[in-house]
Amino acid sequence: MYTPKRVITLGQFIIERQSDFPYAKGELSRLLRDIGIAAKMVNREVNKAGLVDILGDYGNTNVQGEEVKKLDVYANEQFISALSSGGETCAVASEENEEMVPINSEISKNAKYLVAMDPLDGSSNIDVNVSIGTIFSIYRRTTLSGPSNLSDFMQKGTEQVAAGYVIYGSSTMMVYTTGKGVNGFTLDPSIGEFCLSHPDMKIPKLGFIYSVNEGNYAHFPVGVKKFIKFCQEEDEKSKRPYSSRYIGSLVADFHRNLLKGGIYIYPATAKSPKGKLRLLYECNPLAFIVEQAGGKASDGFNRILDIQPTSLHQRTPLFIGSPDMVSKAEELMMRFSQVSTS
């Protein structure tokens, strides 16, 4: 007898898993639902990006006489608006805003959650039809009452209650964790719903892909140079050389490595001595996800999730992916940490 496969939407999945949360009152579920809705709006605009020549350039006026916003600005506004009207978020930290954005709506006055996000990461890839993404991280506020303040955001990544990303690629997916494994949902455009497509995602222990911007090689720490050479060496037993794959869109590079196994590295360089990527809304959420999927995330020496933030837009080097690859990179970073040139 034919039994149709049950399609589980993101909304259903969130409700079914609500009892996983220690303080299950539905607030976090509603917050995740709000993020899902904003992601669909952003997805719609991202898909239109190639039409700017017809509809009007970003920053100019379109044929209807409306101003066409840059997509990263649009995404930022869309997420903040969804979080403000959802009522569960008391403040947002975003790559697009220098300062934290307090949410002061009447409906949010008892809100317990903070969201740190990069509303549209990899924005240099938008105009060339390459995958981009949204990254988000959710914390409970630490101050007990009154308006939220910056200190609420100065929590280690270990304190995240949920984190996720949306990838706008050949299909659009949302992947998230609440600390009980990682699940991926693919947007079915015909019904406008994210549907569970990748339950309980696990990253391979060892992968065969390394992702790093080798154009910066001359300025890399010696440990990273040694690791790259290790990846390129011929060794049949360990299936080296590994493949090099670098999109230059963190979410897309991370997503591929999560599925196939691999390591993504953005180290400190002479130009960016603290690395390029931001701890709060790029590295911590992906570190939480990768650990939940059985992987590892490090700054080369220490676990990303253990770093104490001291500012909203703090940067950190990032080594993230299959655990055996990250451990190997850490070993070389430590072994050559005192060497200043190759």
Could you list the residues that contact Mg ion (CB under 5 A)?
118, 121
Residue with smaller CB distance to ligand AHM, 10 or 286 = 286
Residue with smaller CB distance to ligand AHM, 39 or 90 = 39
Q: Which does 291 bind (CB under 5 to 8 A by kind): ligand AHM, Mg ion, none?
A: none
Determine, following the binding rule CB under 6 A, whether residue 123 of this chain makes contact with ligand AHM.
Answer: yes
Q: Which does 248 bind (CB under 5 to 8 A by kind): ligand AHM, Mg ion, none?
A: ligand AHM
CA angle 292, 297, 302 (to 5 degrees): 125
Which of 62, 85, 197, 213 contacts ligand AHM by CB under 6 A? 213
Which of 248, 270, 302, 335 contacts ligand AHM by CB under 6 A? 248
Distances (CA, A) of 4 to 9, 76, 185, 203: 15, 39, 19, 29
Sign of the four-CA dihedral 96, 100, 102, 103: positive
Q: How far is the CB of 321 from ligand AHM (least distance, A)?
A: 13
Q: Which does 299 bind (CB under 5 to 8 A by kind): Mg ion, ligand AHM, none?
A: none
Determine, following the binding rule CB under 6 A, whether residue 122 of this chain makes contact with ligand AHM.
Answer: yes
Beta carbons within 10 angstroms of residue 218's beta carbon: 10
Q: Which stretch binds ligand AHM (CB under 6 A): 23-31, 115-123, 138-146, 296-304?
A: 115-123
Residue with smaller CB distance to ligand AHM, 122 or 157 = 122
Determine, following the binding rule CB under 6 A, whether residue 250 of this chain makes contact with ligand AHM.
Answer: yes
Q: Which stretches of the chain bind ligand AHM, using CB under 6 A?
A: 95, 118, 121-123, 213, 248-250, 253, 276
